[in-house]
Chains A and B, each alone.
Chain A
Amino acid sequence: MKILVCISKTPDTTAKIAFTDNNSKFAEAGVQFIVNPYDEWYALVRALELKESGAATAVTLINVGGADNDPIIRKALAIGGDDAIRVNATEGDSFYVASQIAAVAKEGGYDLVFTGKETIDYNNSSIGGMVAELLDLPYISLATKLEADGSNLTVTREIEGGEEVDTLSAPAVISCQKGMAEQRIPNMKGIMSARTKPLTVKDPVETEVLTSIVAFELPPAKAGVKLVSADEPEELVRLLHEEAKVI
């Protein structure tokens, strides 16, 4: 089985969220970028484990983005993976990105496509489902566990208030979240070998975009906390009941 792991670049979880150009762009100045945690910790590591156990034969990383994404791709390669593909495109909505991934997945004949649950910047949780539909493949979203026996898969996914266990056969698309694997810290050998792993740059296929971001906005600032003395818990209960009306 060949696995294609979708890797995206996101601002660090502690990055300051601000916008420029008349609130049309995320302010990147001074922001540190990371591999989207869901992609790195869960999708990539589970793919690597499947290769280590012999269930998978190859793990390829894919990113749709500009050349400034290469350091992030190398960071992911330092954790593992045989090679990477970057589709050279800087603009485009979820459908555009998904179309690029679907084209590569089809051409390369991958048996499994792994994505993260969502990117921590745009929180769409959309790419996996779109790729699956474009390839006419089954899709298990928000997976917390995956076992492979040959091409037979047993996948556990989150549902409201619990979980569901599904069986299916590869090829399939899976979106991954906590539970799938444990985060790995890259070691020196990984970092060194990542530098020389093949990173192929491809031109995008022609695709339409269906949506565009018109503007960003920040939520209104909180009014500030109302502190109640530790000796007056009745007052807190009263405020929650009469003022906030939540209990």
Chain B
Amino acid sequence: MVLIFADQSEGQIKKQAYEAISYGAKIAEALGTTAEALVLGTVDHASEALAALGKYGASKVHHASDAGFDAFDAQVYTAAIADAVAASGADVVVFSHTTTGKAVAPRLSARLKAGLAAGAVGLPDTSNGFVVKKSVFSGKAFAQVGIQTAIKIISLNPNAFGVKLKEGSAEIAALDLKPIAGKVTVKEVNKVKGTVPLSEAELVISGGRGLKGPENWFLVEDLANEIGAATACSRAVADAHWRPHHEHVGQTGGAVAPNLYFAIAISGAIQHLAGVNRSKTIVVINKDPEAPFFKAADYGIVGDAFEVMPKIVEAVKKMKAEG
């Protein structure tokens, strides 16, 4: 059985969990077994929200609803998930490689002595063992990782597989699990309000030092608002404090893998590319035709961002108006 950890935050199932379930369901199909989800903590409108996981391919949802799971503690979660794995007899466990997955999957691996493929980008190949393709060298290459243990753990890179909608409703099974005593107290949760979180965004508009100052960020924001995108920036921009550090992408910043990465006045240094090269489509606006970013781009305009960007925003508005 394939068990997918479906992470929730503040009572809502996280978006990446749907993708993880779609992925786990596909693995289950190949192995001729079922895909079941595991949810810890309080979920709003639980009966509908959990049954709806069937739409992504989960036949059953194991729900340990103890409110002690509402605040995250990797140690507490790991103990509970290990118990659920044992009780359900799962032999493949799927996580999303999110902040939660990165904290829990390695712990579970060490606890169960079950091999972990961290940051998977493809389905396991079971023709000869159990081999999972994962991203390495910050997206510049892939490694085929063989898992040798009876239980296999995979954490899937967000947006690497996509959400696959199906028909169906999942059976809900209450799981009587009590959290172990945790050692971490969550004091505050601060989410950036009103904007799409960068790590979850399907569309990202990003600005570089070529925009000359924070007062010119309307060139990034106008397009972002128009198409509902998140905003990002290069390290040079974050270092100059033009934009907050959480917007900085690249080798030493966040990594993103959106459907669209739209880079405005960013040179495309190799360390910047390391954080964005898993994007499906890359657009580059740069006045220098020799800018390295063009080599990594799918579409580009050689031109002055100050002139080009307002025109692009107008063109998008026109397209939307015409439907």
Question: Does B118 lie within 8 Å of A159, measured CB to CB?
Answer: no
Tell me the bound Cα distance from A154 to B149 in angstroms: 37
Which residues of A sit under 8 angstroms from B246, Cβ to Cβ? 158, 163
Contact B146 A212 (CB under 8 A): yes
Given contacts A216-B142, A217-B144, A236 and B74 within 8 Å (CB-CB): no
B259 at the interface (CB under 8 A from A): yes
Per the 8 Å Cβ criterion, residues 170-221 of A in contact with B are 172, 178-179, 208-219
B106 touches A222 (CB 8 A): no
| Contact A129 B103, CB 8 Å, known A95-B113, A227-B300, A228-B301 | yes
Interface class of chain B by DSSP: mixed
Closest partner residue, chain A, to B185 (CB atom): A167
Q: Is the CB of B75 within 8 A of A138?
A: yes
Does A91 interact with chain B (Cβ within 8 Å)? no
Q: Contact residue range for chain A?
A: 35 or more
Which of these, A167, A211, A216, contacts B146 with CB under 8 Å? A211
B159 to chain A, nearest CB (A): 12
Interface string of A113-154 (1 = CB under 8 A from B): 000000011111111111111101111111000000000001
A207–B304 alpha-carbon span in the complex (Å) = 58
Decide yes or no: A230 and B138 within 8 Å by CB, A141-B102, A157-B99, A212-B145 being known contacts. Answer: no
Known: A13-B251, A240-B281. A213 touches B145 (CB 8 A): yes
Beta-carbon contact of B200 and A126 below 8 Å: no
Q: Does B218 contact A (CB under 8 A)?
A: no
Quick one: which of B113, B274, B299 has the most chain A CB within 10 A? B299
Given the complex of chains A and B, what is the CA–CA distance between A160 and B17 in angstroms?
Answer: 13
In the complex, chain A residues whose CB is within 8 Å of the CB of B16: 160
Size of interface on B: residues with Cβ below 8 Å to A: 99
B105 within 8 A of A: yes
Known: A168-B184, A215-B144, A217-B142. A178 touches B311 (CB 8 A): no
- For A106, list chain B residues within 8 Å (CB): none
- In the complex, how many angstroms separate the beta carbon of B190 from the nearest chain A beta carbon? 5
Decide if A246 touches B119 in the complex (CB within 8 Å): no
Contact A233 B308 (CB under 8 A): yes
Q: Whole-angstrom distance between the alpha carbons of A178 and B247 in the complex?
A: 12
A226 touches B136 (CB 8 A): no
Contacts A14-B270, A165-B188, A210-B114 given; indicate if A160 touches B197 (C-beta within 8 A): yes
Chain B 114-130 near chain A by CB (<8 Å), digits 1 or 0: 11111100000000000
How many whole Å from B141's CB to the nearest CB in chain A? 5
| Set of chain B residues within 8 Å of A229, measured between Cβ atoms | 301
- Minimum CB–CB distance from B265 to chain A (whole Å) comes to 13
* CB–CB A215/B143 < 8 A: yes
A interface SS class: mixed
Q: Is B209 an interface residue, CB under 8 A from the partner? A: no
Residues of B within 8 A of A137 (CB): 75, 183
Partner of A142, one of B99, B274, B314: B99
Give the contacting residue for A126; candidates B116, B131, B252, B316; CB below 8 A. Answer: B116
Stretch at the interface among B57-65, B169-177, B290-298: B290-298
* Residue in B100, B143, B274 whose beta carbon sits within 8 Å of that of A120 in the complex: B274
Does B264 belong to the interface (CB within 8 Å)? no
Q: At the interface, yes or no: A82 with Cβ under 8 Å from chain B?
A: no
**Residues on the A chain within 8 Å of B33, using CB:** none
With both beta carbons as reference points, the residue of chain A lying nearest to B137 in the complex is identified as A17
State the CA gap A218–B319 with chains docked (Å): 37
Contact A219 B141 (CB under 8 A): yes
B 240-298 contacts with A by CB, 8 A: 245-246, 248, 251-253, 259-260, 270-271, 274, 277, 280-281, 283-284, 294-298
Given contacts A158-B99, A162-B191, A163-B190, contact A168 B185 (CB under 8 A): yes
By beta carbon, the residue of chain B nearest A228 is: B301
Q: Do A237 and B315 touch (CB < 8 A)?
A: yes
- Provide the bound-state CA to CA distance between A94 and B119, in Å: 13
Given the complex, which residues of B lie within 8 Å of A210, measured CB to CB?
109, 113-116, 147-149
List of B residues within 8 angstroms of A120 by Cβ: 137-138, 251, 274
CB < 8 Å: which of B106, B110, B145 contacts A125? B106
A1 within 8 A of B: no
Chain B residues near A37: list those with CB within 8 A.
Answer: 251-252
The complex places the Cα of A24 from the Cα of B284 at a distance, in Å, of 34
Partner of B300, one of A217, A225, A237: A225
The residues of B that contact A211 with a CB separation of less than 8 Å are: 115-117, 145-148
Interface residue? B166 (CB, 8 A): no
Residues of A within 8 A of B (CB): 11, 13-14, 17, 19, 37-38, 41, 93-95, 98, 120-134, 136-142, 154, 157-169, 172, 178-179, 208-219, 222-223, 225-230, 233-234, 236-241, 244, 246-247
Q: Which 5 A-B pairs have the closest CB atoms?
A: A161-B197, A230-B303, A129-B106, A210-B115, A162-B191
Beyond contacts A14-B270, A160-B200, A240-B260: 12 other A-B pairs, Cβ-Cβ < 8 A, are A11-B137, A95-B115, A126-B109, A129-B103, A137-B75, A161-B197, A165-B190, A179-B245, A210-B113, A211-B148, A212-B148, A240-B283
